Amino acid sequence: MPDILEEKLRALDRLAQTACNVILVPAIERDVNLDEVGAIVKFGIEHPAVRGINFQPAFHSGRHGAHDLMQRITIPDILRAMEAQTDGMFRVSDFVPVPCCFPTCNSVSYAFLDEGQVTPLTRLLHVDDYLDYISNRVIPDIGGEIKRALEGLWSSSAVPGSEKATSDFLLSCAACDLPRDLDLAILEKKIFMIMLQDFMDPWTFSQKNLMKCCKEILLPGGKQVPFCAYNNVGYREQARTQLAGRTRARAQARRAGEEFHPEPLIFDFSGPFDGGQ
């Protein structure tokens, strides 16, 4: 594996110069880089291009190194490491599951950055009071507005550094001590997101988790397949074979001056599947 850290850092610096927002997506594996979680968080907060980090516990689907099935890295493992390695800058209790996913699949926290101080939103506002998607209890009107804003933030589609995310963050703070008249352009630079996304592999696959998945692979023809199903039960292999054949057929039609009308992708799960291992 080539050492391209210097090139990556130079790319981040150039992105900062063009005011382009960046989300770092480090895969974390036990005995490889779990001890670097805190350093990654601190680096992201200090770099002007980085608006958030999406930590992904390593999942063993497709190509992967040797691993111990009983020592799989989990979201709680990363959160505990983060709390210890940042001296409590972020605590385990600062993270809340994303409502649209199964609770063990995705957790998020947002922080307000100001002159070197890092203040997670969960320490200013009881997020659970507004994201109670289990009991659906009734709350006042202002709570409804805050709930909608928080649902926008605690969503898989949230984009840190965007005007919508900034507006949702500001509205959320109607219930805390941040002023509501902050300039959005300035506030965009002061919001930092940390997300943890745990994908399933053949050893952790759960149909119950899959039924609540909100991460989809969009295939030609409009078919949507949950991300973890696509990677684990044979969709990827069948789609790849058909798409490769479609590419060849399209090239042949182009050379012949003919129109190309692709057949829809089809999937057959009637036979055994080895997981692509």
Do both 169 and 234 map to the same domain? Answer: no
- Enclosing domain of residue 86: 5-62+69-197
Do both 111 and 136 map to the same domain? Answer: yes
Residue 250 included in any domain: yes
Walk along the chain (277 residues) and give the pLDDT tens digit of each residue: 568 989 999 999 999 999 888 999 999 999 899 999 999 999 999 999 998 999 999 988 767 677 787 888 999 999 999 999 999 999 999 998 877 778 788 888 888 888 889 988 888 776 666 555 433 333 333 344 545 555 555 555 555 555 555 555 544 454 455 555 555 455 667 778 898 999 888 888 888 888 888 888 888 878 889 988 998 888 989 999 999 999 999 999 999 999 999 888 889 988 765 554 4
Do both 132 and 249 map to the same domain? Answer: no
**What gap in Å lies between CA 201 and CA 211, rounded to an integer?**
15
Residue 204 included in any domain: no
For 263, other C-beta atoms within 10 Å of its C-beta total 11
Do both 172 and 226 map to the same domain? Answer: no
Q: Count how many domains the chain has.
A: 2
Instruction: Give the global pTM.
Output: 0.74
Do both 169 and 95 map to the same domain? Answer: yes
Domain final position from 136, 163, 197: 197
Judge contact between 264 and 221, C-beta under 8 A. yes
Domain final position from 162, 197, 232: 197
Do both 167 and 246 map to the same domain? Answer: no
Do both 39 and 96 map to the same domain? Answer: yes
Residue with tokens 């680096």: 43
Do both 170 and 250 map to the same domain? Answer: no
